Amino acid sequence: MTVTFTFLDWLWVALFLILMLGSGILFYRLGKRSESDFFLAGRDLPWWLPASSVYATHTATDTPMWITGVIYKNGMAGIWYTFFCGWAAISAFVSTRIFRRSLAYTQAEWNVVRFTGLGSELLRGWMAGWQFFMNMFVLGWVGIAMGRICEYLFAWPTWIGLIVFSLVCAVYVLAAGYWGVVMADFQQGVIAFLVIIIVSAWGIHTAGGPTGIIEKLDVMGQLDRINPFAFTGWWSGDFPIAWFITMMLIAFLGGFGMGTTIDWYVEAQRIQSAKTVRDASYSIWWGTILGLIRNSVWAVAILAFFVLFPNITEQSEYEMGWFRLGFDYLPAGMLGFFFAAILAIHLSTISSHLNLGALYATRDLYQHYVNPQASQKRLVQVGRISTAILLLGSFFYGLIMEDITSWLIFALWIMAAGIWLPNILQVVWWRFNAWGYLSSWIANLGFSWLVVWILPELNLIPNLLDYQQFWILMILGALVYFPVTLLTKSESMDHLVHYYVMSRPIGWWGPVREEAIRRGLILVNGDLVAGAEQASRPSDTFPTVE
Amino acid sequence: MNQALATVIGMTIAYAASFLGLILAYRAWRKHHKNQSHDEG
């Protein structure tokens, strides 16, 4: 299909882009003040700003596509895929609070707060490099999704949608850093939320309203589609119960850890930009709730789409379902408003990942390892250069990605499977050390290639279902990192006590807690003694938060 | 581009970036310790 825009449609688009570029100009002065401003908005944001940023960032151009895909294919049971974000419901009251108290700018930096010695530094360097890539990768995949939407709507070559809108976004990210990101995200979040409701309601109305949809599904013999528990058996089929249980475990237990899903790294920046621990908690909780409300609205709209177009077999075609509800049925003059909302969805994700990737490059790689004496002006400059490199790299990644899904699943498995449990252990178990954690990362890279690509290709093992890959990678990884942890020394008690006093983690921290009590840093009831944080600081100053 | 080749190139860049971070960390650590032992000496 191609869409023809009227003057009014283009006017909506132009006004939106001017509004976004205005964020860059308005907040330019704040963004350039310091590294803390360029990457964390000075750590002074009320909860609703990072919350809207969490929501807006995780509403990307590919989000309605994959949600449409799972709902069209599995009916309402597909909604459970979107409960991956359930980790945040736990995290908001557990790992979010611990992470905010640590004051680490990034998850990579957190490693030298939690661990100590060479192992912690290697972890920081490794994770910073990995995150620089991962943000470039996400930018590529979100960018190419926009390229495909523009190709679908206007018959433009894919590269135009990939490059043009990311360039517009880069203007305000380069100018104002995280200030520009978070202020634009607020506006984009509001626009996107409203339009998602309007378009979905329009689609539901077109299909006959909720009652009409159920009646039509009944006539089609597809009433099972409204049952969220319509699984395909215990172990096999498109959506077995074993996969459902695995997903819920990943999601909810994951909230006790840090980095158990790819989304954590984005959230970590928002957590640190909130002005208090409480603001950080609220921002993660509310940002996620908004996402779940959005998903529920989308799910009903996709049932409406199914009723209207029940016989699409091509995945790439039915994945465009929600977009089609808007472009096929909205009246003339509103199409541009809808496209502006799609741009809002797109830019909010692009801007967040540009700034986040640059944060790892600047804070962890440049400042910590290359030039610790760099001035604030220099750090902002490096932040801007890193942003530009990420942008160019994302074009490369976007252009070589034809099949988004297999890449996406592979990258997500690498992030989620073999290191899922270590990501929790680092928070809840005092004995888990830097070498154990680093070995889990390295082992997982090897195992994931073997399990996902190489062994099935050589016909040594069958192609495994998603949940089978997850459990196998988790067991294989554990066979490496548990022995490594137990065969190497625990972190020094001085460092652990300081970390405990600073972050007050939950879980198995008995020996460290007792030592902190013995040293008079915390009371038996868990309350902190005044000045304990400073008094517990170890003398070795290399692995510190600058 | 062949997707298998694209995946290999893409992931190789990922590992290269991670190892670069690892090497930078190791270099900085060694330098720090060299300076520390020099100061103590």
For the beta carbon of residue A157, count every other beta carbon within 10 angstroms: 10
Interchain contact B17–A (C-beta under 8 A): yes
Which residue type does A389 have? Answer: I
Phi first, then psi: give them for residue A294, nearest 5 degrees. Answer: -55, -45
Q: Which of A210-224, A315-329, A359-373, A377-391 has the lowest mean pLDDT?
A: A315-329
| pLDDT reading at A67 higher than 60 | yes
Q: What is the pTM of this model?
A: 0.91
Collect all residues of chain A within an 8 Å Cβ-Cβ radius of residue B18. Answer: 126-127, 129-130, 133
A431/A519: higher pLDDT = A431
Contact between A50 and A274 under an 8 Å Cβ cutoff? The reply is yes
Mean pLDDT of A229-241: 86
Mean pLDDT of A51-75: 90
Secondary element (H or E) of residue B27:
helix B3-40
Which residues touch A384 (CB under 8 Å, ≥6 apart)? A174, A358
| pLDDT reading at B36 higher than 80 | no
Would you give the DSSP letter of residue A437?
Answer: H
| Distance of alpha carbon A21 from alpha carbon A476, whole angstroms | 48
For residue B22, give the nearest of A122, A133, A397 by CB distance: A122
Collect all residues of chain B within an 8 Å Cβ-Cβ radius of residue A129. Answer: 17-22
Mean pLDDT of A392-399: 91
| pLDDT reading at A423 higher than 50 | yes
Interchain contact A542–B (C-beta under 8 A): yes
pLDDT, residue A542, reads: 47
Mean pLDDT score of chain A, rounded to an integer? Answer: 89
| pLDDT reading at A424 higher than 60 | yes
ipTM given for this complex: 0.90
Residues 326-385 of A with CB under 8 A from B: 364-365, 368-370
